[in-house]
């Protein structure tokens, strides 16, 4: 008898004595692929950027597909600013194929190279493709395993959701996050391998190994929506829990009901004074356009660079594109705390100019330039009353961002520690965190990265 969806994912989380050798083998596999990879990323100029040009105040592809770089003017309360933003209205596929081997669900992962990856090869979903790519606008061949997602006959859909990307860089961009279960034979193609969910979550403890597209799909798995005894964040070295397993539970009273949380979000959306309007790139104060970049003149945030790409393993080997280069890494911090034995996360209503519906919930701190005035930054800087549970750098979307790797820190506060709850922040239980991920446009990509770490045994 086919297991329930919940049981399937649970079977894939179970650790075995063979896991450690599989993790070592996977890391070595990635290292070898990096050594063999033939990748060339060269800076160029906009005037030489093949198939791209400035038209009607935007940077566009000659096909009028893929994406555009536009200027946007944002007014939020008393603050007004301008910036470039990626307009890519197409909904792409981010998908895992899964299959049961010896009673255990395994995920088909791809060792994929993106032009902006900091370390060339990263673990990605089975399929990650924009509509322009899988529609073959680029003139190359179709992505591997696309047919399983376009025609799911004979497959069971385990997850299927629309979720956002980086709301400060993309304008209302969403992707379809899908996990399908197949029963027929899958021919294993080059640069693909099978891993369990537990192995993927272990690999998330390493810097820049599991890419953003894989993390967002993993965050959609409803691991916590059935009563369970304990919540854990596994370490690689000891395979033990970072939490004392008797300290926390998922069932029990929450600080806020789901209705309270939805009211909190809706109330802030209604009260929002944020407005956005597209403007010509040339009309952005504090941004300079040259043949080599579209640059923040204060060099606080990012620039857009024209590059030439040659990757031997891609559907198309060579192409040109613009790409975003950040001047510093972002700090993302999630504060968590036990209330009456139930673990909660402190989340903020994050207003970002590209949000599909004004705002989404983000981590406690999400900033490219945090200061003493950043809410709760002092808790992050303090070494007392907090325990670091997770601290790594994770790469962001390598197709549009150049070598961007941001810091993700999970901090556990003492239950007795008092703190003022500011207006745009709310405590959400672990179970509610997972429940909110079952709906579109409630959790931003930074929050979903933290959610992808959650494990249970």
| Residue 131's pLDDT band (cuts 50, 70, 90) | confident
Would the pLDDT of 239 be above 80? no
pLDDT class for 242, splitting at 50, 70, 90?
very low
321-370, pLDDT tens digit by residue?
Answer: 999 999 999 999 999 999 988 899 999 999 999 999 999 999 999 999 99
Residues 6+ apart with CB under 8 A from 55: none
DSSP string, 90-147: PPEEEEEEEEEETTEEEEEEEEEE-TT-TTSEEEE-SEEE-HHHHTTTTSSPPPTTHH
**Residue (of 164, 122, 227) closest to 443 by Cα position:** 164
Indicate the pLDDT class of residue 138, thresholds 50, 70 and 90.
low
Q: Where in the chain is the domain with CATH 3.90.79.40?
A: 5-39+89-219, 258-274+329-453
> In sequence order, what DSSP letters do the residues of 29-61 get, joined into one string?
HHHHHHHH--EEEEE--GGG-TTEEEETTEEEE
Hey, what are 8's tokens?
Answer: 């399937």
- Judged on CB neighbours under 10 Å (0-12, 13-18, 19+), 355 is buried
User: Which residues are CB-neighbours of 74 under 8 A, at least 6 positions away?
Assistant: 80, 81, 82, 83, 274, 275, 276, 353
Nearest to 360 by CA among 347, 345, 349: 349
**pLDDT reading at 74 higher than 90:** yes
Judge whether residue 403 has pLDDT over 70: yes
> In the prediction, which pLDDT does 60 show?
97
β-bridge partners, 289: 294
Q: Where are the beta strands (DSSP E) in 155-247?
A: 156-164, 174-181, 192-196
Radius of gyration for the alpha carbons in the chain, expressed in angstroms and rounded: 22
Q: How confident is the model at residue 136 (pLDDT cuts 50, 70, 90)?
A: low
**Between 457 and 161, residue with greater pLDDT:** 161
Work out the average pLDDT over 248-276.
Answer: 88
φ and ψ at 264, to 5 degrees?
A: -60, -45
Rounded-to-integer distance, Cα 228 and Cα 231, Å: 8
Q: What was the pLDDT predicted at 395?
A: 96
Is the separation of the CB atoms in 406 and 334 below 8 Å? no
Class for the domain spanning 258-274+329-453: alpha beta
In angstroms, the CA 112 to CA 175 distance is 18
Given a cut of 50, whether residue 223 has pLDDT beyond it is yes
Q: What is the mean pLDDT of residues 450-455?
A: 89
The CATH code that applies to domain 5-39+89-219 is: 3.90.79.40
For 428, phi then psi, to 5°, come to: -130, 130
Q: Which residue has the higher pLDDT, 277 or 238?
A: 277
pTM of the full structure: 0.92
């Amino acid at each position: 008898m086919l297991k329930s969806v919940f049981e399937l994912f649970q079977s894939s989380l179970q650790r075995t004595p063979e896991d450690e050798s599989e993790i070592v083998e996977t890391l070595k596999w990635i290292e070898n692929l990096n050594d063999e990879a033939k990748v060339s990323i060269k800076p160029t100029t906009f005037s030489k950027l093949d198939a791209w040009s400035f038209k009607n105040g935007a940077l566009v592809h000659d096909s009028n597909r893929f994406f555009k770089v536009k200027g946007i003017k944002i007014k939020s309360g008393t603050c007004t600013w301008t910036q470039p933003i990626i307009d890519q209205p197409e909904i792409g596929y981010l998908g895992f194929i899964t299959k049961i081997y010896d009673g255990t669900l395994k995920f088909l992962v791809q060792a994929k190279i993106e032009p902006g990856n900091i370390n060339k090869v990263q673990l990605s979903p089975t399929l990650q493709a924009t509509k322009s790519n899988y529609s073959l606008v680029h003139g190359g061949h179709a992505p591997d395993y696309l047919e399983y997602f376009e025609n799911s006959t004979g497959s069971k859909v385990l997850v299927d959701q629309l979720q956002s990307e980086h709301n400060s860089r993309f304008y209302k961009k969403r992707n379809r996050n899908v996990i399908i279960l197949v029963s027929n034979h899958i021919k294993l193609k080059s640069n693909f391998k099978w891993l369990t969910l537990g192995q993927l979550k272990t690999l998330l403890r390493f810097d820049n190994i599991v890419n953003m597209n894989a993390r967002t799909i993993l965050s959609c798995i409803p691991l916590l929506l059935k009563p369970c005894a304990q919540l854990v964040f596994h370490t690689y070295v000891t395979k033990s829990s970072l939490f004392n397993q008797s300290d926390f539970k998922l069932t029990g009273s929450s600080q806020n009901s789901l209705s309270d949380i939805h009211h909190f979000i809706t109330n802030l959306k209604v009260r929002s004074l944020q407005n956005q309007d597209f403007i010509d790139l040339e009309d952005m104060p504090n941004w300079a356009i040259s043949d080599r970049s579209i640059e923040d003149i204060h060099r606080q945030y990012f620039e857009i660079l024209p590059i030439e790409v040659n990757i031997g393993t891609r559907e198309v080997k060579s192409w040109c594109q613009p790409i975003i280069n950040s001047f510093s890494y972002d700090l993302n911090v999630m504060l968590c705390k036990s209330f009456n034995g139930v673990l909660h996360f402190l989340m903020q209503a994050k207003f970002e100019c590209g949000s599909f519906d004004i705002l989404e919930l983000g981590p406690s701190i999400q900033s490219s330039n945090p200061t003493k005035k950043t809410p709760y930054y002092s808790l992050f800087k303090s070494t007392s009353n907090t325990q670091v549970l997770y601290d790594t750098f994770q790469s962001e979307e390598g197709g549009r961002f150049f070598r961007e790797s941001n810091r993700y820190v999970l901090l556990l506060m003492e239950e007795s520690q008092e703190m003022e709850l500011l207006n745009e922040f709310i405590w959400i239980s672990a179970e509610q965190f997972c429940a909110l991920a079952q709906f579109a446009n409630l959790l931003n990509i930074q929050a979903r990265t933290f959610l992808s770490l959650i494990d249970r045994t």
